[in-house]
Amino acid sequence: MAEDADCRKVTCETLRVRLLHEPSGELDAAALAHLSLCDDCAGALVTAVLKQGAEPEIPTDFAARVCAALPPPETLPKDAVEASHRFTGTRIAVAISMILALAACVSFAAVPQTLLPAGLLGTALAAFLITEGVGLALWLGLRGNWR
Amino acid sequence: MKLFEGEFSLTAVITPEEFEGIVREHQSMVFRSLARLLGSREQVEDLAQEVFLRLYRGMQNFRGEARLTTYIYRIVLNVVQDEWKRQKPEQEFVSFDEPESRWDERLPSGELDPEQQLGGRQLAAELNAALQELSAAERSALVLFHQEDCTYEQIAHLLSLPIGTVRTHLHRGRKKLQKLMQNRMELWQKTPIAGK
């Protein structure tokens, strides 16, 4: 049979190699005959063509035309300005808390044994301030999310 | 995919010049996806413009939780979905095995050239036409996976589907496409070549 003869000319291996190197290459009658009968190779062909992707021509001035059609910039909503202040406030509160925590750790480590009670008092005060800072940061952040 | 976090703060107002840069960076991906999903190049430019206009309007609300590319893909899918609804509001997807599907009449004329060869362009055109025979989810999943190299997780997020469903759509879509193309190849072999 002519169809069987065509199929034998093209094997799965030769066709896969061809698809790998030339996914957009020509497919002759023998290859078509093989593909119509071989599910695996037909699947490989579909995958190869899909991977190759469509390459439509993009006008060189497309980006410029899109930007020319953009609506005029809107003024910033009040919420956006407040969000900026909250964001900045949160960052400052976190930074202050970190500095205080570091200072507390350093001062506690440097306190002599005889002055430990005073060192503890200082550490408690620092911990109180740190807690205040963290609370402020959380409050600023959460307040924004609740809106 | 390029991570775009940190480029815009909550108060960012992007200038047209900055946006033009974004358009240039992603226009190829948008055009490519639209062409494949729609199976036609006729409306690609108009719809691509629509994608970027929607992106610009949405930039105020984009807070960097996801990659910008993912955000653009989502807009592309929404635009394509709207176009499908506009073109065929009551499209029913009929299996190609059904007699009433007449899929072969909807495919482009697949006459081979005198040398009995199927060129790459014609093959791509046939595949694009065959893609239109699939369901919207199968079509989108195949294009995103094979052409755009998206992962299962990304496709699941974009299509709002479980990962298992995405895998099923990919598997079924591939099988259907394969069968469609094989049937088409059989038809080409049996059809005598038009005199050229």
Domain boundary assignment for chain A: 2-52, 78-146
Q: Which CATH number fits domain B99-190: 1.10.1050.10, 1.10.10.10, 1.10.287.70, 3.30.70.2200?
A: 1.10.10.10
With CA atoms as reference, the chain A residue closest to B43 would be A56
- What is the pLDDT at residue A113? 60
Place of tokens 């003869």: A5
Q: Taken in order A15, A7, B178, B34, is the CA torsion positive or negative?
A: positive
With CA atoms as reference, the chain A residue closest to B19 would be A67
Decide if domain B16-87 falls under CATH 1.10.3720.10. no
Is residue A93 within 8 A of residue A133, CB to CB? The reply is yes
Q: Kindly determine whether residue B13 and residue A56, on different chains, have CB atoms separated by under 8 Å.
A: no
Helix axes B163-190, A29-37, angle to 10 degrees: 130
**B85 CA to chain A: closest CA distance, Å?**
23
H/E stretch holding A83: helix A78-110
- Which of A40-49, A53-62, B114-123, B172-181 is modeled with the greatest confidence? B172-181
| A42 CB within 8 Å of a chain B CB | yes
Residues 6+ apart with CB under 8 A from B131: B36, B37, B39, B139, B142, B143, B177
Question: Of B126, B117, B134, which Cα lies nearest the Cα of B189?
Answer: B117
**Optimal mutation site among A50, A65, A87, interface B, most CBs of chain B within 10 A:** A50
Place of tokens 């070549």: B193
Domain boundary assignment for chain B: 16-87, 99-190
Q: Tell me how many residue pairs between chain A and chain B have CB atoms under 8 A apart.
A: 132
Tokens of A100: 């205080």
Cα distance between residue A105 and residue A115, in whole Å: 15
Grouping H, G, I as helix, E, B as strand and the rest as coil, residue B34 is: helix
Per-residue pLDDT of B77-100, as tens digits, reads 999 999 988 877 655 444 444 444
Chain A residues with CB under 8 Å of B28 CB are 58
- What is the pLDDT at residue A125? 80
Per-residue pLDDT of B14-29, as tens digits, reads 788 889 999 999 999 9
- Which of A45-49, A90-94, A123-127, B58-62 is modeled with the greatest confidence? A45-49
Tokens of A90: 């949160």
Cα distance between residue B44 and residue B41, in whole Å: 5
A70: left (phi over 0), alpha (psi -120 to 50) or beta: beta
